[in-house]
């Protein structure tokens, strides 16, 4: 694996493809932290296995598990899913895995020898020792490097702290993110908004960044990741987490985001179309769920009564499939199914029952997955 610390992706013709572009596989981790996943991750592991199995019907899946959990993961997952041993602090591969980029240039063009590479960002557990989700992330910071090494792909090492869930792209030059996360002082306090935007442009191959003010209400773990709030479903079209309840704190956030998006254009000058995707009825962590989590000095407390950051926007786009969370709110679950089916008419929408378990840990389906794009012209 080549490490290209002195070169930037755009200098070699790389760009981050849209999630709906072809994948060669999907990467996932295997949860086990007792201070984040209740009852020693028993319930979380079952849902992770459901997600991996659903995705594997559309594309290959690799699940990484620690040495202590490899046998357990192997026994719960279908045989056609690859399970490899990898140490990690937690299983949020959207944020700790590499942000893959592709080079569309012909091999003899003088650009990149490889057609697929990965951005290896700095990681500080969503806020560092004082504000992050755990105090030791020494294993997580190596996850991206290990994946790229395993696949023998080049790595662009970057000193900027960034998680994959904080960005979405349309594959045609536009990135969307939130000020609440990327401008948070617990990430890159010495960088200005303009400097961060420039880094996104040269690392993702985008020409325009659309900044939403905030992420989803209650998404304190990530400080408002975009992948719980808004995402592209095609160039010039986004789905936005929404509520009609003006008494819900989420309402103001959604309205502000709608205002920004309605007045925005993408990198090609196209007006942004917004499709509202209602959040489920308000969900809270129960006492039983909170009691199943081990409290220690390393992890972030999970307290009964905490509002869960539940959103249908946190779905994964596979090759021909949409893997989305279901929260047990029949009206909103059904509505989300129909909305996603309409915006992805050529994909099969699969709703994962029990996705609340992932939400209890601080994220959802998009947060636990990381797509590896197919090599251009090699689908």
Catalytic residue numbers? 367
Residue 68 token pair:
């202590």
Question: What DSSP character marks residue 374?
Answer: P
Question: What DSSP character marks residue 307?
Answer: B
Tell the residue number behind the tokens 């792209």, with chain if given: 169
> Cα separation of 198 and 208, whole Å?
9
Evaluate whether 378 touches 102 at the Cβ level (below 8 Å).
no
Taking alpha carbons only, the member of 198, 213, 212, 209 closest to residue 267 is 209
> Cα separation of 309 and 306, whole Å?
9
Evaluate whether 222 touches 165 at the Cβ level (below 8 Å).
yes
Which backbone phi and psi does 214 adopt, to 5 degrees?
Answer: -140, 165
In 134-229, beta strands by DSSP E: 155-161, 168-169, 174-178, 208-212
Evaluate whether 67 touches 84 at the Cβ level (below 8 Å).
no
């Amino acid at each position: 694996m080549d490490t290209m610390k002195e070169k930037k992706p755009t200098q070699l013709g790389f760009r981050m493809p849209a999630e709906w572009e072809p994948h060669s596989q999907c990467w996932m981790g295997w949860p086990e932290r007792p201070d984040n996943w209740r009852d020693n991750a028993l319930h979380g592991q079952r849902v992770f296995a459901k997600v991996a199995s659903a995705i594997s019907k559309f594309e290959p899946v690799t699940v990484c598990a620690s040495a202590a959990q490899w046998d357990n993961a192997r026994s719960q997952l279908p045989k056609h899913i690859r399970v490899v041993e990898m140490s990690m602090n937690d299983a949020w591969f959207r944020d700790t895995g590499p942000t893959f980029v592709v080079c569309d240039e012909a091999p003899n063009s003088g650009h990149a020898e490889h057609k697929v590479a990965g951005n290896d960002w700095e990681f500080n557990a969503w806020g560092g020792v004082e504000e992050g989700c755990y105090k030791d992330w020494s294993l997580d910071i190596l996850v991206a490097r290990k994946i790229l090494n395993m696949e023998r792909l080049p790595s662009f090492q970057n000193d900027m702290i960034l998680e994959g869930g904080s960005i979405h792209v349309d594959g045609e030059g536009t990135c969307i993110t939130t000020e609440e996360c990327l401008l948070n002082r617990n990430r890159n306090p010495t960088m200005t908004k303009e400097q961060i935007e420039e880094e996104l442009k040269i690392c993702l191959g985008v020409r325009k960044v659309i900044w939403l003010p905030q992420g989803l209400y209650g998404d304190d773990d990530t400080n408002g990741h975009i992948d719980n709030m808004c995402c592209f479903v095609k160039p010039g079209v986004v789905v936005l987490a929404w509520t009609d309840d003006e008494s819900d704190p989420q309402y103001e956030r959604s309205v502000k985001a709608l205002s920004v998006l309605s007045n925005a254009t993408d990198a090609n000058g196209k007006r942004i179309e917004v499709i509202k995707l209602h959040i489920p009825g308000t969900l809270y962590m129960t006492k039983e769920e909170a009691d199943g989590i081990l409290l220690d000095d390393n992890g972030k407390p999970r307290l009964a009564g905490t509002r869960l950051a539940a959103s249908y926007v946190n779905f994964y786009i596979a090759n021909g499939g949409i893997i989305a969370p279901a929260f047990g709110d029949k009206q909103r679950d059904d509505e989300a199914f129909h909305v996603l089916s309409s915006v992805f008419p050529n994909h099969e929408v699969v709703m994962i029952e029990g996705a609340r378990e992932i939400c209890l840990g601080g994220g959802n389906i998009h947060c636990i997955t990381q797509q590896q794009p197919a090599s251009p012209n090699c689908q």
